[in-house]
Structure 1
Amino acid sequence: MTKVLRLSVNDRVELFNGMGGLIEGCIERIDRTGLDFTALEDLKVILPQSTQWHVFAAFGTLKGGRADWLVEKCTELGAGSVTPLLTERSPSISENRVDRLQRVILAAAKQCQRLHEMTLNAPTKIGTVLPIVAQSKLSFLAVAEATPLISALTSSRKESNGLIIIGPEGDFTEKEVKMMTDAGATAVGLGPHRLRVETATMAVLATLMLWSDSQESPDL
């Protein structure tokens, strides 16, 4: 706060704990070891958004910081959780990378002032996801040449929870697509171009977050 944002004594700040807790106060004293904060009001607890989109993306084999970017932007856009999806073409993700991604989420939550920290789930195989898909009323599976996402949304009713499922760089196998659509996922297309995993994830998540917001807004 003092080194990057250049805040000083008596400046008002808000602190949050990543679980909806929010408290307002001011900086009382600054020294080389840190600062003293004085609370000016009682702790408030803010409820999470009513609509939660949960991302299942096969990004275990992404290189060059692309997995970090995917998780960071999911945090900023408001995803409820991200789960590394293990597929035939993306079979693993290292434990070291999972630890790093958790740090990325924390930093992104601070940067975008997100009161509820996004959850990073343990890597999960498709077979484990199928019952979750079957129980979800809205599950969108990104598949090349499928019905455009916007067209699918015109016939979809708003639900409080939904799933976004994105395949690996080599895409899902036909068997995997059939397994998930048989479980209840809706295959959706994202235009004529082949997108990277992180690009497809952002395209679907951003669209669904805006759609969810529009569904909650009152008619003018």
Structure 2
Amino acid sequence: MQGGIVRVQGDEFWHMTKVLRLSTNDRIELFNGKGGLVEGCIQRIDRTGLDFVALEDPKLVLPQSTYWHVFAAFGTLKGGRADWLVEKCTELGASSVTPLLTERSPSISENRLDRLQRVVLAATKQCQRLHELILNPPMKIDSILPQIAQSKLSLVAVAEASPLVSVLTSSKSDSGGLIIVGPEGDFTEKELHMMVEAGATTVGLGPLRLRVETATMALLATVILWSDSQQTSGS
């Protein structure tokens, strides 16, 4: 509430004072990743942290009206490619990202998951996103089948399938859904059959062979912009 004081320490304290070079009396906004936002200023700085004083009552910003959940088999990606995928999913507005475990991408290390969580936090701050992306624990194909069955729209990226834009044009759902991208080497026929049987729709992303992170971004960016255009035209 107005006049309340929040103590900021640790990594956020270091980032605010050493990277952003904020000082006493500078006005800032704090958010909690769940839509809570409060404006205030830095009251005091010492060696271990800073005191933030609220200048107004906190606001609660409602989440976006579309929810797209990303399932991508990126456990075996190297050279920062998984970091890039999760960072861009955060920036584009995905609601969640789940590492997908498949026959051709069967694992992801705990150390990598910890690193990806830090990537999510940094990207959330950079793009001023008030509702933090959820990074889920890894899941196998058979574990996501119930979610596919319950979703109004589940899109699986598959080479030579019907073009994504054509599928979206004929779709009646604009509130969100699942996007699913396989590993390098793609899904096995068995895995793809399981998802289609559960209700997923296969979609093509053009004539060229795309990497996991490229396919994920192409699919997510398209559905986010499509959802936005449908919401705008319907309002």
Within 1, Cα distance between the matches of 2:234 and 2:148?
A: 31
Give secondary structure in 2 for the equivalent of 1:217: helix
Within 2, Cα distance between the matches of 1:218 and 1:41?
A: 35
TM-score of the two chains, using structure 1 as the length reference: 0.94
The equivalent residue for 1:196 is 211
Which of 113, 116, 122 does residue 128 from structure 2 map onto? 113
The equivalent residue for 2:110 is 95
Range 128-137 or range 153-162, more displaced: 153-162
Question: Structure 2: which amino acid aligns with 1:82?
Answer: V
Range 102-111 or range 55-64, more displaced: 102-111
Question: Structure 1: which amino acid aligns with 2:102?
Answer: T
Shift of 1:115: 0.7
The equivalent residue for 1:80 is 95
Range 133-142 or range 11-20, more displaced: 11-20
Question: Structure 2: which amino acid aligns with 1:28?
Answer: Q
Shift of 1:56: 0.4
**Conserved? CA contact 1:137–1:159, under 8 Å:** no
Within 2, Cα distance between the matches of 1:146 and 1:219?
A: 29
Within 2, Cα distance between the matches of 1:40 and 1:58?
A: 45
Within 1, Cα distance between the matches of 2:229 and 2:140?
A: 33
Find out whether 1:148 has 2:148 as its counterpart.
no
**Conserved? CA contact 2:174–2:230, under 8 Å:** no
Which of 228, 231, 234 does residue 213 from structure 1 map onto? 228
Within 1, Cα distance between the matches of 2:103 and 2:166?
A: 29
Find out whether 1:173 has 2:188 as its counterpart.
yes
4+ aligned runs moved over 4 Å, structure 1: none
Find out whether 1:69 has 2:79 as its counterpart.
no
Find out whether 1:59 has 2:74 as its counterpart.
yes
Within 2, Cα distance between the matches of 1:9 and 1:96?
A: 37
**Conserved? CA contact 1:158–1:215, under 8 Å:** no
Shift of 1:102: 1.1
Within 2, Cα distance between the matches of 1:6 and 1:149?
A: 45
Within 2, Cα distance between the matches of 1:219 and 1:56?
A: 28
The equivalent residue for 2:50 is 35
Range 22-31 or range 193-202, more displaced: 22-31
Give secondary structure in 1 for the equivalent of 2:125: helix
Deviations 1:32-82 (A, max 9, x none): 444332211111111111111000000010011111111111111111001
**Aligned counterparts, 1:128-147, within 5 A:** 128-147=143-162
What are the ranges of 5 or more consecutive residues in structure 2 without an aligned counterpart? Answer: 1-15
Question: Structure 1: which amino acid aligns with 2:200?
Answer: A
Question: Structure 1: which amino acid aligns with 2:189?
Answer: E
- Cα separation, partners in 2 of 1:218 and 1:11, compared to 1, 3 Å: farther
Which of 13, 18, 35 does residue 3 from structure 1 map onto? 18
The equivalent residue for 1:163 is 178
Deviations 1:105-150 (A, max 9, x none): 1111111111111111111110111111011010000000111111
What are the ranges of 5 or more consecutive residues in structure 1 without an aligned counterpart? Answer: none
**Conserved? CA contact 1:55–1:165, under 8 Å:** yes
Give secondary structure in 1 for the equivalent of 2:19: coil
The equivalent residue for 2:201 is 186
% identical equivalent positions: 79
Within 2, Cα distance between the matches of 1:13 and 1:213?
A: 30
**Conserved? CA contact 1:139–1:165, under 8 Å:** yes
